[in-house]
Amino acid sequence: MIRKAIQRSRGLDIVYEVKSAEDMDYEDNFDVIFCNSAFQFKDPEKAVRNCYRALRKNGRIGVQAPAKKVYCPNFVEAIEMVRSDDRTKWTFAHFKEPWFFLETAEEYRSLFEKCGFNVVFSKIETVTTEHTLEEVFKVFSTGAVVGYLNQDCYDVELTEDYVSAFKEIVKKAFERQSDERGVVRLKFNRLFLVAVKS
């Protein structure tokens, strides 16, 4: 993503850095922080406090991210098939979720307020879009699979057979979810939050 951003902004006075929100050490540097589909921190309170410190007075943070344990019913259903399939259940039993989710907009509001923010908007909505089977698998593969097939999230070694069976099972799950047109109604529970540094 950073490589693409650099290519698209050649000639502009823009600096890019890759840094964990938990490790940010900025102070009063920014007017706006935007977090899109990247709010699954290991230490969310530390990340939000760092964002607060990085913003100037009256600076704003906007968050749009998956929310709730059942962040995407389609994906969760597919993962349940992975959990129970004889080819994958033993290895998957060693999976430790890397994500942070809260269940209500009020819980997210409380987290931000605890870190000093004035929350002006906090809502969780179910967003539904329609996709072909290929598109759904691509959405899954560019996001969720980064966690589900991340060696760091397992205390046993991932094998090629496991990865192959995992993907096959997920594809079959999406096929089962598709309608007669081959279209899947993909649902995401998403947090929309805006907060201001007073």
**53 φ, ψ (degrees, to nearest 5):** -65, -35
pLDDT tens digits for range 43-100: 999 999 999 999 999 999 999 999 999 999 999 999 999 999 999 999 999 999 988 8
* Top-confidence residue, 39 or 47: 47
Query: Which DSSP letter does residue 77 get?
Result: H
Decide: 22 and 42 in contact? Cβ < 8 Å: yes
Residues whose CB falls within 8 Å of the CB of residue 162, separated by 6 or more in sequence, listed in order: 87, 88, 91
Residue 4 forms part of a structural domain: no
Residue 8 forms part of a structural domain: no
Residue 10 forms part of a structural domain: no
In this predicted structure, the answer to whether residue 30 has a pLDDT above a threshold of 90 is yes
**145 φ, ψ (degrees, to nearest 5):** -65, -25
Residue 1 forms part of a structural domain: no
- Domain at 137, CATH number: 3.40.50.150
Average pLDDT for 134-153: 93
Domain encompassing residue 28? 16-196
Total Cβ atoms within 10 A of residue 187: 16
Q: Domain count of the chain?
A: 1
Q: Say what the pLDDT of residue 143 is.
A: 85
Total Cβ atoms within 10 A of residue 106: 12
pLDDT tens digits for range 97-141: 988 899 999 999 999 999 999 999 999 999 999 999 999 999 999
- What's the one-letter identity of residue 17? E
In this predicted structure, the answer to whether residue 2 has a pLDDT above a threshold of 90 is no
Q: Is 79 helix (H, G, I), strand (E, B) or coil?
A: helix
**Residue ranges with strand state E in 67-182:** 118-132
Residue 3 forms part of a structural domain: no
Residue 147 forms part of a structural domain: yes
Residue 28 forms part of a structural domain: yes
Residue 143 forms part of a structural domain: yes
Average pLDDT for 159-183: 97
Q: Which residue has the tokens 């050490």?
A: 25
Q: Is 11 helix (H, G, I), strand (E, B) or coil?
A: coil
